[in-house]
Copies of this chain bind each other. A is one copy, B any other.
Amino acid sequence: MMNELFSLIRISSVSALPEHKDDMLACAQRWKELLLEAGADRAQVMASSGNPIVYGEKIVSPDVKTVLVYAHYDVMPAEPLELWTSDPFEPEIRDGKIWARGADDDKGQAFIQVKAFEYLLSHQLLKNNVKFIFEGEEEIGSPSLEQFCKDHKELLKADVILVSDTSMLGADLPSLTTGLRGLAYWEIEVTGPNRDLHSGHFGGAVANPINVLCGILSKIIDENGRITIPHFYDDVEAVPDAERTMIAQIPFDEEKYKKSIGVEQLAGEAGYSTLERNSCRPSFDVCGIWGGYTGEGSKTVLPSKAYAKVSCRLVPHQDHHTISELFKNYIEQTAPETVKVKVTPMHGGQGYVCPISHPAYRAAEKGFELAFGKKPLAVRRGGSIPIISTFEEVLGIKTILMGFGVEDNAIHSPNESFSLDIFRKGIEAVAEFHMEYSK
């Protein structure tokens, strides 16, 4: 069974890098084959305005409920490669885990869905219809999926959407994600002089674009950890007291958390706990920065250009389009006249809140309980799956976030992994979900 998953992982479907264009199609085609082998009536690779989309379905009857399973076959870049213990695109099993880029996010998790489907079907236990839509641009913000949904509303018709692309609180602490943060992402380009200058001849008399960029970025968060862009918090809903009480009850070992990521002290917005900061409150991070001489040794240069890639995580009700404009305009308008500053919005997505009274939410809760032996906690998570709110807007369908990741899996980092034990429990939980939901 693992060979099927490994065949997917070996295709380095990195959506952020144009040199992997062919891998995207190859990965989509491999998924199509696997869906047919698992028992789908039909499966096809469909064109979108970007990377192709895999669609598959098993229609049991027109009179029963339909679950639309969404996942993505693209992965994050694996760099820096030197930090991987084994090749990111040649999966290895060590210590009861699969090690590879995509082992969790999202090839491994998508595979859980397909294997649960195959199990139900082969045991004549599937009582609802199942549709699959696997896209290839989730890690770059799903730029083509909204239009694809608009163009194929009938095809994608369903009662609920099921997504495995989130994490649990821990391997022994199953949880269902009831909220996600939104995202806005920009690239900032600062141009000073028209060429790199000798820092001896010009230093002290000409604005240095790196110095200026650092000044701009350092002012975006104030000393209380709050974002200083005017009107940024206008639509931020205060975290309800009931939810803060629930969050405070989540077993969370802050010392262990710090140790696992190797920091002495945490940082964040004053007045909020760590779990609130990384799930219910907005954040601002510089994801990348570069400019000037970055090679070996020293070069005394006053560079012409400096760049940064920056992002904000947003909370439900903050519109990412509004925030994107607010940020761009504020940064460009407050830039000093000694340089030129250009802010380019890259991508974005809305936050999401899932209703815990939905029958599919209850079925998912049941699935977790049977597979993991514990009722899952309902928690908000800090990540973003922008497409979830698009599904609601375009297709009018709610999504259940039934994810099986754990923090140690190191998604988006070197040495991504996925536990074989959770893998098996995940298949059981998803199978139970379908049986419960179709009752």
Contacts and interface: CB of A to CB of B under 8 A. Distances in A.
Interface of A: 15-18, 76-77, 79, 83, 139-141, 167, 181, 183, 185, 187, 192-208, 210-211, 213-215, 217-219, 221, 225, 261-269, 274-275, 277-278, 281-303, 306-309, 311, 313, 336-339, 346-347, 381-384, 407, 410-415
Nearest to A340: B264
Contacts of A267: 205-207, 336, 338
As for how many copies of this chain the complex holds, the number is 2
A412 B301 contact: yes
B287 A300 contact: yes
A274 B202 CA distance: 9
A202 B258 CA distance: 11
B214 A283 contact: no
Contacts of A291: 286, 288-290
B16 A295 contact: yes
Given A383-B200, A410-B195, A287 B303 contact: yes
B207 A266 contact: yes
Given A263-B206, A287-B302, A414-B195, A297 B200 contact: no
A136 to B, nearest CB: 13
Contacts of A346: 297-298
Contacts of A18: 296
A298 B278 contact: no
Contacts of A76: 299
A194 to B, nearest CB: 3
B200 A382 contact: yes
